[in-house]
Structure 1
Amino acid sequence: MTEKQGIQGGQGGQDVQGEQDVQDRPDRQDVQGRPAAEDTRDTRAQITGTGETCGTPQAQITGEGGEPQTQSPRSMRDVEEAYSLDLEGAGAILFDKDGTLLDFTAMWGFWTDRALKLFRTLLAERGLALREAGLPQIWGTTHDEEGKTIDYDRRGPLAMGTVDEMHAVLAWHGYRAGLSWAEAKLLVRRCAEQADAAMEAERPAQLLPGVRKFLDRCRELNVPMGVVTADETDSALRHLEWLGIADYFDIVIGTDLARRGKPFPDLCLLACERLGVPPERVVVIGDTDGDIEMARAAGAALKIGIGEAGTLKLADVTVPSFERLLGSAVRR
């Protein structure tokens, strides 16, 4: 790492600056690495790039000649910017796992199909059934004509829930179908265990495009990296090992290590504590509202969304892929 501690834009066309709430925490350092009390400017994380941008009501886009152009959060979300990301200034980068580093549908679509198929079979053996039309509403999934999971709701339980929450949702549907609550929980656990075993045998994890190159770039710059996930820690480590990327990360924090999972800040704060880096020097990258809200609540310097424009309203910038993000990352 160099002495520079700022997280700021490079030579893109415009800067988007998102204000961080530091008034009630005067002992914090700003993203430039100086005590906030010594700087008369607002503490801000700077980014410039191509993607959807948004910020607080005080956020500014710097126009031609360096004059600030104040815009509302709504108008900023609707603007396509040209930006570059200075990774070398980051104290650490925290990544979500599913849907950010790995292909969510390939992994959890596989698991969902096997868990639901067995659950429906067990219900049928008891003269009960789940409505076919109601399957997408269980965990927030989209299915093809053959019932295979082909997509998921980024706001839904499958995308944002913990393992225990997933079990509880399916158990509730079993109860509604006619099972006792006790039997529903037992059957769900059985289905989940068999789906886990099938996933262990098949190992359907797939890296998303550009991920390995982006991790290589961060490693070259000696930026500490960690994973914060709604999955459990042992499971997350296993999936990262399947993909051959476990060694990139200094820490892996699963939801079982904190009192509260996403969207609460606990996972992010625990990761920062273990890395020895204050949240206001950390970049968080994720694909759901849960990731971005966790980062916001923790006071992260920069919140980067991976996904389609307009899907992550709280992100400072949203890009469609790591390939795009990699193209914007510059070494100073």
Structure 2
Amino acid sequence: MSLRPRGVVFDLDGTLVSNMALHAEAFRVFVERHGLPPLDAGLRGRLDGKRNTDIFPILFARTLSSEEQRRFADEKQSVYRELSRGRLRPLPGLERLLAALERREIPVVVATSAPTENVPHTLSELGLEGRLTRVVQSDSVPRGKPYPDVFLAAAALIGVAPEQCLAFEDAPAGIRAARAARMTCVAVTTSFSLAQFEAHDARPDAAVADFEAFLAGPGAWLQAD
């Protein structure tokens, strides 16, 4: 395990920003519109961190056509963007962490299951659209999280071996994907407790509440002279 990486990979939703409650609200609106069962904690654990192409067949408990997939995804994401507009803030400590990584010339990349339209929306709302310019989306790789594909592609994009990367994730599927990619991984507990991660067979190398906690603990070396 190395918490002194040559590259850093960030998940987006729930990691750079604590916005999973807004996604949950968007899904609540969606399932009510379609008369689907409400989302409980167990179902959330199966969905968080996954691609829409994996999520909607689970919600509807059937195979969906590509047209249905597109229509349902567009509907849900439109609700999310409307709910989140003007309400997103970076997770505490993110600015300090990014500045420390920049000083040490450690490259960063975002590896996310977020749909294409949501990525620029979220980064813009956070004021990071000109700063986090390297992004790999799960839809661009063969398999989504918990498979390692998106993390392997992210490491390749910044030219760093996966085992020399540190990944930040908030969801069990993401932690499992990062570990499968042989990355050191830190769980950000905005959405799940450490016990919940372990219950989903997701075992991070460290867990922190936010990036302030990371910089005060396992990442303190980043601010040393």
TM range (shorter): 0.7 to 0.9
Deviation at 1:160, TM superposition (A): 2.6
User: How many residue pairs are counted as aligned between the two chains?
Assistant: 211
Query: Which residue of the partner structure matches residue 108 of structure 1?
Result: 23
Deviation at 1:213, TM superposition (A): 2.7
Query: Which residue of the partner structure matches residue 299 of structure 1?
Result: 182
- The correspondence of residues 3-18 of structure 1 with structure 2, limited to 5 A, is 18=1
- The correspondence of residues 1-332 of structure 1 with structure 2, limited to 5 A, is 18=1, 45=2, 89-120=4-35, 130=36, 134-137=37-40, 140=43, 153=44, 155-157=45-47, 159-172=48-61, 186=68, 190-202=71-83, 203=85, 204-300=87-183, 302-307=184-189, 308-313=193-198, 314-328=203-217, 329-330=220-221, 331-332=224-225
Deviation at 1:162, TM superposition (A): 0.9
Deviation at 1:293, TM superposition (A): 1.8
Unaligned stretches of 5+ in structure 1?
A: 1-17, 19-44, 48-88, 121-129, 141-152, 176-180
Supply the distance in 2 between the matched residues of 1:138 and 1:323 (Cα, whole angstroms): 27
Task: Check the 8 A contact 2:81/2:118 in 1, yes or no.
Answer: no
Supply the distance in 2 between the matched residues of 1:262 and 1:182 (Cα, whole angstroms): 20
Structure 1 residues 97, 182: CA separation in 2 closer, same or farther (over 3 Å shift)?
A: closer
The structure with more helix, counted as a fraction of residues: 2
CA offsets per residue over residues 96-117 of structure 1, 9 Å max, x none?
A: 1111111233430232132123
Supply the distance in 2 between the matched residues of 1:199 and 1:299 (Cα, whole angstroms): 32
Deviation at 1:170, TM superposition (A): 2.6
Supply the distance in 1 between the matched residues of 2:141 and 2:82 (Cα, whole angstroms): 29
- Which of structures 1 and 2 has the larger relative contact order (alpha carbons within 8 angstroms, sep 6+)? 2
Using structure 1 for the length normalisation, give the TM-score: 0.56
Unaligned stretches of 5+ in structure 2?
A: none
Name the SS for the 1:93 alignment partner.
strand
| Aligned Cα root-mean-square deviation (Å) | 2.7
In structure 2, what residue type is equivalent to 1:135? P
Structure 1 residues 312, 192: CA separation in 2 closer, same or farther (over 3 Å shift)?
A: closer
Supply the distance in 1 between the matched residues of 2:139 and 2:52 (Cα, whole angstroms): 10
Name the SS for the 1:285 alignment partner.
strand
Task: Check the 8 A contact 1:312/1:318 in 2, yes or no.
Answer: no
Deviation at 1:244, TM superposition (A): 1.1
The structure with more strand, counted as a fraction of residues: 1
Task: Check the 8 A contact 1:93/1:226 in 2, yes or no.
Answer: yes
Structure 1 residues 117, 326: CA separation in 2 closer, same or farther (over 3 Å shift)?
A: same
Rg larger for: 1
Supply the distance in 2 between the matched residues of 1:206 and 1:110 (Cα, whole angstroms): 17
Task: Check the 8 A contact 2:7/2:106 in 1, yes or no.
Answer: yes
Name the SS for the 2:197 alignment partner.
coil
Supply the distance in 1 between the matched residues of 2:56 and 2:205 (Cα, whole angstroms): 33
CA offsets per residue over residues 87-137 of structure 1, 9 Å max, x none?
A: xx42110011111111233430232132123223xxxxxxxxx4xxx4124
Structure 1 residues 311, 110: CA separation in 2 closer, same or farther (over 3 Å shift)?
A: closer
Deviation at 1:260, TM superposition (A): 0.9
Supply the distance in 1 between the matched residues of 2:89 and 2:29 (Cα, whole angstroms): 18
